[in-house]
């Protein structure tokens, strides 16, 4: 088994979270190509909330990434030492590049003709090269080029680069204290940068402020929270992984999980009024808080463990990375092809089911191709 599969094989809840985040991002990107918020009143009221799914899905993915990378190193029940930095880089970038590079080449070929005609070959080359080395999120002209969803790969690469040192920091000062520091300092700096950028709209500083949302350090807290969750999970491993249904466990479920799930339900019903009153970065911090509540609830919910153990959940979780790499262009091209044939609501349903199944099958095929390549 790979390192990532070994770290998560006994945590079905993480697989369930991975599927939920993937579905949320998929539906959000479908909504961006077919925005149905003005349709039937009840349906429109639900669809108007879809933009949040994209933000929540990315936050959950970031937390999962921090959790999975740290699970083998943080906590009293772990035995591994901190990996050599170069070995870690080789392993992690090797894992994501084997899927990323083929899809990047494919989408670049399809994206190239109109871009060369309108913006020139030099820009196309710049966009491709910056994506190739994961620095496309650092400039306003390239971070949404080729495939807008690929911005997350740039941020993921940044986290890989800082992870070995961040892991040493967590081990040195303690996971809880390190997590607080890794959240407070970036978020305070983000508040200060937001204030400064608001004084000079349209300036370079305002552009930097805009790009910081898609880069570290302002998104570091999400990864750090995942690392803290891994440490807490490992400390509680005998209880979490045990099969005994003790009274203490039932009390934990009653006293903690139920209120969290009720709070999340209220969040879904009432959050819009609160979010409208919050400006960035406070709206994002607010969403991170609720995502962490949801992750905690799912990690401790017995039903989530059973759902995460289903073969369908495991298959979808295994294909989630490939689905992420493939889904957005497929949604866009399919929508263009069907725009003159189907009404928006029918097109939405067709793409939801048809492109969803196509992405899953293509992601499974991509996984098998990568694994065959590695074995050979």
Distance (Å) of CA 28 to CA 37, 150, 183: 12, 15, 27
DSSP string covering 85-106: HHHHHHHHHHHHHHHHHHHHHH
Same domain flag for 198 and 259: no
CB 346 within 8 A of CB 47: no
CB 144 within 8 A of CB 107: no
Coil, helix or strand at residue 202 = coil
Residue 122 lies in a domain: yes
Same domain flag for 214 and 321: no
Residue 241 lies in a domain: no
**333-345 burial, b if ≥16 CB within 10 A, otherwise e?**
ebbeebeeebeee
| Arithmetic mean of pLDDT, 273-283 | 76
Last residue of a domain, which of 299, 331, 363? 299
| Arithmetic mean of pLDDT, 357-369 | 95
Range of the domain at 91: 81-218
The structure tokens 């901190």 sit at: 82
Please state the domain count of the chain: 3
Residue 277 lies in a domain: yes
Residue 339 lies in a domain: yes
First to last CA, the chain: 16
Same domain flag for 41 and 87: no
Distance (Å) of CA 154 to CA 40, 54, 211, 363: 38, 17, 12, 20
* Element spanning 208, H or E: helix 204-212
**Whole-angstrom distance, CA of residue 22 vs CA of residue 140:** 26
* Element spanning 237, H or E: helix 237-240
User: Per the structure block, which two tokens stand in for 236?
Assistant: 């509680």
User: Per the structure block, which two tokens stand in for 7?
Assistant: 């770290």
Residue 235 lies in a domain: no
Residue 280 lies in a domain: yes
Same domain flag for 150 and 47: no
CB 304 within 8 A of CB 13: yes
Residue 58 lies in a domain: yes
At residue 49 the predicted structure's pLDDT band, cuts being 50, 70 and 90, is: low
Same domain flag for 88 and 196: yes
Distance (Å) of CA 185 to CA 205, 210, 274, 319: 19, 18, 24, 35
Share of the chain above pLDDT 70, in %: 80
User: Per the structure block, which two tokens stand in for 3?
Assistant: 């390192």
- On the question of pLDDT at 238 being above 60, the answer is no
- On the question of pLDDT at 1 being above 90, the answer is no
Question: What pLDDT score does 332 carry?
Answer: 95
Same domain flag for 212 and 102: yes
**Whole-angstrom distance, CA of residue 133 vs CA of residue 127:** 10
User: Helices 220-235 and 50-70: crossing angle, nearest 10°?
Assistant: 50
Same domain flag for 22 and 85: no
Residue 40 lies in a domain: yes
- Quote the DSSP letter at residue 253: I
pLDDT in tens, 307-338: 999 999 999 999 999 999 999 999 999 999 99
CB 53 within 8 A of CB 28: yes
Same domain flag for 125 and 211: yes
pLDDT in tens, 51-91: 777 888 999 999 999 999 998 888 655 556 777 899 999 99
- Quote the DSSP letter at residue 376: -
**120-148 burial, b if ≥16 CB within 10 A, otherwise e?**
eeeebebbbebbeebebbeeeebbebbbe
User: Per the structure block, which two tokens stand in for 170?
Assistant: 């967590």
- On the question of pLDDT at 2 being above 80, the answer is no
65: nearest Cα among 35, 92, 25, 94:
92
- Beta carbons within 8 Å of 4's beta carbon, 6+ residues apart: 68, 95
Question: What pLDDT score does 245 carry?
Answer: 41
Which comes out higher in pLDDT, residue 303 or 2? 303
Instruction: Write down the mean pLDDT value for the chain.
Output: 85
Same domain flag for 158 and 209: yes
| Arithmetic mean of pLDDT, 162-191 | 95
φ and ψ at residue 218, rounded to 5 degrees = -70, -20
∠ at Cα 131 (67, 31), nearest 5°?
Answer: 70
Last residue of a domain, which of 218, 235, 258? 218
At residue 247 the predicted structure's pLDDT band, cuts being 50, 70 and 90, is: very low
**Whole-angstrom distance, CA of residue 32 vs CA of residue 49:** 12
- On the question of pLDDT at 191 being above 80, the answer is yes
Same domain flag for 104 and 208: yes
290, 291, 293, 296 alpha-carbon torsion, rounded to 10°: 180
Same domain flag for 174 and 263: no
Residue 86: exposure state from Cβ atoms within 10 A (0-12, 13-18, ≥19): exposed
**Whole-angstrom distance, CA of residue 265 vs CA of residue 257:** 12
Same domain flag for 211 and 268: no
Which comes out higher in pLDDT, residue 282 or 3? 282
């Amino acid at each position: 088994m790979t390192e990532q599969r070994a770290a998560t094989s006994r945590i079905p809840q993480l697989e369930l979270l991975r599927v939920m985040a993937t579905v949320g991002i998929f539906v959000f990107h479908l909504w961006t190509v077919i925005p149905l918020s003005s349709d039937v009143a009840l349906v429109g009221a639900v669809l108007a909330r879809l933009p949040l799914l994209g933000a929540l899905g990315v936050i959950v993915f970031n937390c999962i990434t921090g959790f999975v990378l740290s699970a083998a190193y943080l906590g009293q029940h772990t035995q591994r030492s901190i990996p050599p930095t170069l070995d870690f880089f080789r392993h992690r970038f090797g894992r994501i590049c084997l899927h990323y590079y083929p899809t990047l080449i494919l989408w670049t070929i399809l994206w190239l003709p109109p871009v060369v005609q309108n913006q020139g070959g030099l820009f196309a080359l710049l966009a491709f090269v910056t994506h190739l080395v994961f620095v496309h999120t650092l400039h306003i002209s390239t971070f949404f080029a080729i495939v807008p969803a690929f911005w997350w790969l740039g941020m993921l690469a940044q986290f890989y680069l800082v992870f070995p040192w961040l892991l040493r920091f967590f081990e040195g000062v303690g996971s809880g204290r390190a997590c607080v520091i890794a959240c407070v300092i970036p978020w305070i700096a983000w508040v200060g940068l937001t204030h400064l950028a608001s004084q000079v709209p349209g300036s370079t500083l305002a552009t930097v402020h805009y790009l910081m949302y898609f880069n570290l350090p302002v998104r570091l807290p999400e990864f750090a929270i995942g690392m803290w969750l891994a440490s807490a999970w490992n400390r509680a491993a005998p209880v979490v992984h045990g099969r005994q249904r003790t009274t203490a466990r039932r009390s934990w479920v009653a006293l903690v999980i139920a209120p969290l799930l009720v709070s999340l339900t209220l969040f879904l019903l009432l959050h819009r009024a609160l979010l409208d009153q919050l400006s960035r970065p406070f709206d994002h911090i607010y969403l991170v808080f609720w995502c962490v509540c949801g992750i905690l609830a799912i990690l401790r919910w017995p039903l989530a463990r059973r759902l995460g153990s289903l073969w369908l959940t495991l298959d979808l979780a295994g294909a989630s990375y490939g689905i992420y790499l493939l889904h957005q262009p497929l949604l866009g091209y399919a929508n263009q092809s069907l725009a003159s044939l189907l009404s928006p609501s029918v097109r939405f349903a067709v793409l939801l089911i048809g492109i969803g199944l196509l992405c899953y099958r293509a992601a499974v095929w991509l996984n098998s191709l990568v694994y065959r390549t590695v074995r050979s």
